[in-house]
Each structure stands twice: as C-alpha cells, then as structure tokens.
Amino acid sequence: DSGVTQTPKHLITATGQRVTLRCSPRSGDLSVYWYQQSLDQGLQFLIQYYNGEERAKGNILERFSAQQFPDLHSELNLSSLELGDSALYFCASSSSPPGGTQYFGPGTRLLVL
Amino acid sequence: AQSVTQLGSHVSVSEGALVLLRCNYSSSVPPYLFWYVQYPNQGLQLLLKYTSAATLVKGINGFEAEFKKSETSFHLTKPSAHMSDAAEYFCAVSSMDSNYQLIWGAGTKLIIKP
C-alpha cells in the first residue's frame, strides 16, 4: 500500500459526459501528479501540482483540468468525454522535489461508451 | 532533452533463470534513475532508485540495478526469476534537465515460463 488513495476504482460513462477523479496523496506529500495509461499511448504525464499551485503540464488535453485543494487532495476533471479517453488514470504523490520518489495510487479505470 | 529507452517490449525467461531488463537513458546532467513495476490491474510500485550514493542499487523482491555512466545504462537484474515476477517494468529518469519531471520508458513486459 503506497498510501495514495484514488476514487472511484472504476467508472463507466457515456461520450460527451463529464467525470471527476479524486486523489489523496500520502501524508506530508506536497506534490501530486496525474498520469494517463492506455494501451496505444502507454504512460503519459498529464499535470503536476505542488502545494496547491500548478507546477508542470504534460500532454493534458484542453478538455481536462485539475486542481489541488488546501488539504492537498487533488481532482482531475475530464469533460466532453470521447471513446479514446478510456484509460487508467493514476495519481502519484511525492515529497519536496528534486528527485523525490513518486508513489502511485491504484488508479481509476475509466470506460467511455 | 532527456529520454529513456527500454530495449524489448516483451522479455521471456524461464522460471529460475536470470532476469535482465535493459534501460538506457540520455541526460546531460547527473540523473536520478528509477525502476517501477506494475502488476496486472494495479498501480506502479517503486522497485529501486539511484541517487548517486552507490552505483549498485538493491531493491525489493531480489531485484538490483547497476548505474553505468559510461554506457548511460541502468539495467535491472534478478538472479533467479519467479512466476510472481511476471509484470510490466518501467524505467524512468529525472534531473535538472527535465525540471525533475519523470521521463518514462515505454515499459517491458516480463513473461515467466514454467
């Protein structure tokens, strides 16, 4: 158990809908990272927050957004969902960079029908 | 720019045989190097991490990796494979070059033959 929790574990929704994925980092970790893992594109970094502020952006679509709240939990919002958004979404957390090890949550499996 | 190359998307070994998963990286500054493992339907778990303290790094489950600067490699090994080692393994690098973001390899799926 990494100490990172993600809810929900599974999510099934329809195209065009909007969903919110939630992540609670390990106690004391200030950084939260979001990743998307799909069969065709592998593991893709989406976005990083550090102590409530956006720190880095990766391959995140404009339809996707995230935020980190004062209690350090984070939410990833996916809107206007398309079939191709079906994937595993991981959250990871780390203590202060640089070189901080990222600890991953169990992931949310999103299926868009 | 930094990059990570994992040679072989699939590696198959017999139970009890040596496991060798290859990882080469590019970085113009001293890197941090990581190996993560992902078991089916699970998240990624840290196996081991290189932080310049020692070139041979021992991790969990009997795995180890050796940092070779001259070869820009960080190959993962285990002397004797177990069926439970069947998983996907990811190599990653971070440094000042990437603003300490993890740059990931494509992953290698390890298959263990009985």
Which residues of chain A neighbour B99 with C-beta distances below 8 Å? Answer: 56
Indicate yes or no: CB of B42 within 8 angstroms of CB of A48. no
Query: Which of A43, A45, A98 is the closest to B90 by Cβ?
Result: A43
Residue B13 has pLDDT above 80, yes or no: yes
Indicate yes or no: CB of B32 within 8 angstroms of CB of A104. no
Pick the residue from chain A with its C-alpha nearest to B108. A42
Residue A97 has pLDDT above 70, yes or no: no
Residue A98 has pLDDT above 70, yes or no: no
B99 touches chain A (CB under 8 A): yes
User: Phi, psi (5° rounding) for residue B83?
Assistant: -55, -35
Residue B16 region by backbone torsions, left for phi larger than 0, else alpha for psi between -120 and 50, else beta: left
B100 touches chain A (CB under 8 A): yes
B74 touches chain A (CB under 8 A): no
The pLDDT, as a whole number, for residue A2 is 87
Contact in structure between B64 and B48 (CB atoms under 8 Å): yes
Residue % of chain B over a pLDDT of 70:
100
User: Phi, psi (5° rounding) for residue A43?
Assistant: -90, 120
Q: Tell me: the pLDDT tens digits for B34-75?
A: 999 999 888 899 999 998 778 999 999 999 999 999 999 999
A100 touches chain B (CB under 8 A): yes
> Please, what is the average pLDDT of chain B?
93
Residue A13 has pLDDT above 70, yes or no: yes
Query: What does the alpha-carbon distance between residue B72 and residue B75 come to, in Å, rounded to a whole number?
Result: 10
The pLDDT, as a whole number, for residue B101 is 83
Residue % of chain A over a pLDDT of 90:
82
Residue B29 has pLDDT above 90, yes or no: no
Does residue B30 or residue B79 have the better pLDDT?
A: B79
> Please, what is the average pLDDT of chain A?
93
Q: Tell me: the pLDDT tens digits for A68-87?
A: 999 999 999 999 999 999 99
Mean pLDDT of the region A53-77: 95
Helix (H, G, I), strand (E, B) or coil at A23: strand
Which residues of chain A neighbour B49 with C-beta distances below 8 Å? Answer: 101
Q: Which among A21, A34, A60, A104 is the top mutation candidate for probing chain B, defined by the most B β-carbons within 10 Å of its own β-carbon?
A: A104
Residue B106 has pLDDT above 70, yes or no: yes
Q: Which two tokens stand for residue A104?
A: 């991953």
Indicate yes or no: CB of A106 within 8 angstroms of CB of B102. no
How far does the CA of residue B79 sit from the closest CA of chain A (Å)? 25
Judging by DSSP bridges, how do beta strands B56-58 and B64-68 pair with one another? antiparallel
Mean pLDDT of the region A103-110: 95
The pLDDT, as a whole number, for residue B100 is 79
B32 touches chain A (CB under 8 A): yes
**A61: Cβ contacts below 8 Å, ≥ 6 apart:** none
Query: What does the alpha-carbon distance between residue B75 and residue A9 come to, in Å, rounded to a whole number?
Result: 33
Query: What does the alpha-carbon distance between residue A21 and residue A8 come to, in Å, rounded to a whole number?
Result: 7
The pLDDT, as a whole number, for residue A41 is 82
DSSP state of A102: P
HEC letters along chain B: CCEEEEECCEEEEECCCCEEEEEEEECCCCCEEEEEEECCCCCEEEEEEECCCCCEEECHHHCEEEEECCCCEEEEEECCCCHHHCEEEEEEEECHHHCCCCEECCCEEEEEEC
